[in-house]
């Protein structure tokens, strides 16, 4: 069972959310600098932006498969359609809490 801010999420709901999150969020692979084991500052920022764009692309693809507009989707998750546009373009980062909310709206 998953725990939300409103209490426990049922097992069926939890499984649906888990599979939704797995579909939307790509696995993060740690890329380390060969010499010291750490990212250079620019590399870390670029990696995060590419992850944001990947999550946004997956979000857009999923929304399109569901056949709903950005406006309808935004109302379902409680944000403006402009915010959905920014998520889909990778301009704004989708928080973990928002990912769960998005998955709950689809379930």
Q: Where are the domains of the chain?
A: 2-29+41-106
Contact partners, residue 53, CB within 8 Å, separation at least 6 = 89, 90
- Tokens 């380390």 sit at which residue? 32
Contact partners, residue 77, CB within 8 Å, separation at least 6 = 84, 98, 101, 102, 105
- Tokens 């889909």 sit at which residue? 88
Antiparallel, parallel or unpaired: β 2-4 and 7-9: antiparallel
Q: What is the reported pTM?
A: 0.68
Fold type of domain 2-29+41-106: 434 Repressor (Amino-terminal Domain) (1.10.260)
The 10s digit of each residue's pLDDT in 9-53 is 444 566 777 788 777 776 655 444 445 444 555 566 678 888 899
Task: Quickly count helices (H) and strands (E) in the chain.
Answer: 5, 2
Secondary element (H or E) of residue 3: strand 2-4
The 10s digit of each residue's pLDDT in 51-90 is 899 999 999 998 999 899 999 999 999 999 999 999 999 9
pLDDT (0 to 100) of residue 78: 95
């Amino acid at each position: 069972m998953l725990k939300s801010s409103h209490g426990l999420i049922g097992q069926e709901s939890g499984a649906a959310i888990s599979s939704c999150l797995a579909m939307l969020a790509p696995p993060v692979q740690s890329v380390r600098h060969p010499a010291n084991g750490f990212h250079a500052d620019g590399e870390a920022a670029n990696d995060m932006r590419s992850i944001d764009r990947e999550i946004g692309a997956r979000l857009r693809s999923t929304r399109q498969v569901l056949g709903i507009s950005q406006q309808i989707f935004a109302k379902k998750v409680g944000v403006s359609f402009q915010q959905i546009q920014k998520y889909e373009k990778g301009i704004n980062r989708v928080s973990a809490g928002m990912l769960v909310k998005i998955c709950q709206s689809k379930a």
